[in-house]
A and B are shown apart, each in its own frame.
Chain A
Amino acid sequence: MAGIEIAELSTVYPNGVRAVDGLDLTVADGEFFALLGPSGCGKTTLLRTMAGLEQASEGAVRIGDRDVTRLDPGARRVAMVFQDYALFPHMTVAENIAYPLRVRRMSKVSQRDAAERTSAGLSLGALLDRRPGQLSGGQQQRVALARAIAVEADVLLLDEPLSNLDARLRLEARTFLKKLQRDLGLTTVFVTHDQAEALALADRIAVMESGSIRQLGSPKEVFQRPVDTFVANFIGSTPMNLLDGLIADGMVEVAGARLAPPEGLDLVEGTPVVAGIRPEYLRVVPGAQEVTEGVAGILGAVAIVENLGVTSLVTIECADGTLVGLTVPEQHEPAVGTRLCVVPEAGRLLLYGGEDGLLLSARPSDHSAEFDRSRA
């Protein structure tokens, strides 16, 4: 068991791409940590640098109390699960799990013990004599996990562990993975570009862009208070409304509406801002369809209705052409063309700088709500 400490880490590929750029990160012992970001932001490279498959160009990686920056992958006591699993196709499931143990000069008996224990935990008992080619994607994924776990490493690294599974299996495997990580209490870092997966699984999330971390926090923090418009855009299954506005008379003028700004902000009259409101946090004001402009609500006509199952995503078009999305319970779905007045729920309106896109915040953003291990 060990945490991971990364200090000013850069990984530069021979072609000059700085895939990881001066990054600092601490992962606590036993934490389930997600690296999240769009394609090409350097998630895989960071993970591979932790594993030692990529050489750090600058900075250091510490695992537990050891500096592993210059160690070979095999000496780092990390286990890695690859996106395509990289199982050994010519070995059976049992051999796949036991072979790395044999390499570690474990005795035959403890090899078999370890293999049996992990495969039972991952319900692979019936598959031990099959070859990877004879397994389903979900089963292969569990074998890859079993192979990684059996070596009893300090840290488990997973590169997009669920991306090769179909949607239904992915949900199943997600729950399974979370339970497994809880049971083992193993420090785990996983890479994903699926924000829903990161929100669902991780204790903490690092949102990355161009080789550095944009935001680090619990799923709740990242979802509710994205620190900039990039993160705001990236997180959430329905995109956050980011509306250009202006500060006037201490109010936020946006899409023809005047909204009360969040409390405790020093707002300069006339500065451009971006108002961020999640579709989930917008409410329809009943009976306010006929109110005129300038009220504390955004007025618009329903343009598009998308059924999401339990809820529907309604897009309204305001007089100035701004599109605003909100979710409503599916049974209250309005007809296209209906005029609506919507307001953000109390405390759900976020303001971002009109130029730099950074969250305007009264208090320094709340990093004291650090990772809290309830079971530690």
Chain B
Amino acid sequence: MDVLVNNLPLFLSGFFTTIKLFLISAVGSLVLGTILAMLRVSPVPVFRAAATVYVTLLRNTPLTLVFFFFAFAFPLLKIVSPDSFSYFVAAITALILYTSAFICEVVRSGINTVPVGQAEASRALGLSFGQMLSNVVLPQALRSVVPPLVSTLIALLKNTTIAAGFSVAEAGAIRSTLSERGADTMVGLLWVALFFVVLVIPMTLLQRSLEKRWSVAR
């Protein structure tokens, strides 16, 4: 307990950074991943090909490499001005791009569970492709992939710790700071672990309640 109390500001700011990293990249990758999934089932071959290349590339690259790219290689390209660049932004970009490839595949598997009849009924009723996807197919697809979607988000939560290696002072980085201060790092680590468990619990609860609510809807 001493370790926690003595270093409270360190813990608090670390935890806060983690939550911020997680929330921003969760929303970002859900949105981007869903858009990618829509591209992957679109009737336009170019869209399908582009999304497939993207997913193959990002899903098969270790996250650390993606981080490396955005932390070190990307600034050299001078696409964004150095002022607006920070390791935090780089971390978020890396997390979103990486996780969205996984979200895309999860959502796509969900889309595949929706019977073709639904798409045909939509066409017969005069819906456009976009209307069919967003109002008929996706709502049903998302309902069927709540568990793998939450798993992907939990993986994302844990992946935020990699940002520690790139000078983002999130929860995973607390250990090194603690050891500099000469505190008991083992105990500190236990607190960090506990923190992650506490963060995962609400997500599991959310998953359960979503599954329950939507199972009635089928």
A residues bordering B, Cβ < 8 Å? 51-53, 72-75, 78-80, 82, 84, 86-90, 99-100, 103-104, 131, 133, 147, 151
Bound CA span A151–B115, Å = 23
Do the beta carbons of A80 and B124 come within 8 Å of each other? yes
Across the interface, A151 reaches (CB within 8 A) one of B123, B125, B143, B214, namely B125
Query: Chain B contacts of A73 at CB under 8 A?
Result: 123-124, 126
Bound CA span A79–B139, Å = 23
Convert B134-150 into 0s and 1s, putting 1 for each residue whose CB lies closer than 8 angstroms to a CB of A.
Answer: 01100110010000000
B residues bordering A, Cβ < 8 Å? 115, 117-118, 120-121, 123-128, 131, 135-136, 139-140, 143, 214, 216-218
How many whole Å from A186's CB to the nearest CB in chain B? Answer: 16
Bound CA span A104–B128, Å = 11
Report 28 cross-chain contacts, Cβ distance below 8 Å, ordered by A residue.
A73-B123, A73-B124, A73-B126, A74-B123, A74-B124, A74-B126, A78-B124, A79-B124, A79-B125, A82-B117, A84-B115, A86-B120, A88-B118, A88-B121, A88-B136, A88-B140, A90-B139, A90-B140, A99-B135, A100-B125, A100-B127, A103-B125, A103-B127, A103-B128, A104-B126, A131-B216, A133-B217, A151-B126
Bound CA span A52–B120, Å = 10
How many whole Å from A336's CB to the nearest CB in chain B? Answer: 50
Bound CA span A4–B28, Å = 50
**Also in contact, A90 and B127, with CB within 8 A (given A53-B120, A82-B121, A99-B135):** no
Do the beta carbons of A86 and B117 come within 8 Å of each other? yes
Query: Chain B contacts of A151 at CB under 8 A?
Result: 125-126
Bound CA span A51–B117, Å = 14
How many whole Å from B35's CB to the nearest CB in chain A? Answer: 20
Query: Chain B contacts of A100 at CB under 8 A?
Result: 125-127
Bound CA span A191–B123, Å = 20
Do the beta carbons of A53 and B123 come within 8 Å of each other? yes
How many whole Å from A287's CB to the nearest CB in chain B? Answer: 61
Bound CA span A57–B126, Å = 22
Across the interface, A133 reaches (CB within 8 A) one of B124, B135, B218, namely B218
Across the interface, A84 reaches (CB within 8 A) one of B117, B128, B135, namely B117
Bound CA span A46–B214, Å = 37
**Also in contact, A75 and B120, with CB within 8 A (given A88-B136, A90-B139, A103-B131):** no
**Also in contact, A74 and B127, with CB within 8 A (given A53-B120, A82-B120, A82-B121):** yes
Do the beta carbons of B125 and A74 come within 8 Å of each other? yes
Query: Chain B contacts of A75 at CB under 8 A?
Result: 126
Do the beta carbons of B217 and A131 come within 8 Å of each other? yes
**Also in contact, A53 and B124, with CB within 8 A (given A84-B117, A88-B118):** yes
Bound CA span A169–B159, Å = 56
Across the interface, A89 reaches (CB within 8 A) one of B120, B126, B128, B218, namely B218
Chain B, Cβ-Cβ closest to A88: B136
Chain B, Cβ-Cβ closest to A75: B126
Do the beta carbons of B118 and A86 come within 8 Å of each other? yes
Do the beta carbons of A51 and B217 come within 8 Å of each other? no
Do the beta carbons of B140 and A89 come within 8 Å of each other? yes
Bound CA span A104–B127, Å = 8
7 closest Cβ contacts across the A-B interface?
Answer: A74-B126, A86-B121, A86-B117, A100-B125, A80-B124, A73-B123, A73-B124
Bound CA span A354–B135, Å = 59
Chain A, Cβ-Cβ closest to B117: A86
Chain A, Cβ-Cβ closest to B215: A133
Chain A, Cβ-Cβ closest to B123: A73
Bound CA span A151–B217, Å = 25
Query: Chain A contacts of B140 at CB under 8 A?
Result: 88-90
Bound CA span A131–B136, Å = 14
Query: Chain A contacts of B216 at CB under 8 A?
Result: 131, 133
Query: Chain B contacts of A103 at CB under 8 A?
Result: 125-128, 131
How many whole Å from A148's CB to the nearest CB in chain B? Answer: 8
Bound CA span A86–B122, Å = 9
How many whole Å from A58's CB to the nearest CB in chain B? Answer: 22
Chain A, Cβ-Cβ closest to B126: A74
Query: Chain B contacts of A72 at CB under 8 A?
Result: 123
Do the beta carbons of A90 and B124 come within 8 Å of each other? no
Bound CA span A82–B124, Å = 10
How many whole Å from A300's CB to the nearest CB in chain B? Answer: 51
Bound CA span A74–B127, Å = 7
Query: Chain A contacts of B139 at CB under 8 A?
Result: 90
Bound CA span A100–B124, Å = 10
Query: Chain B contacts of A89 at CB under 8 A?
Result: 140, 217-218
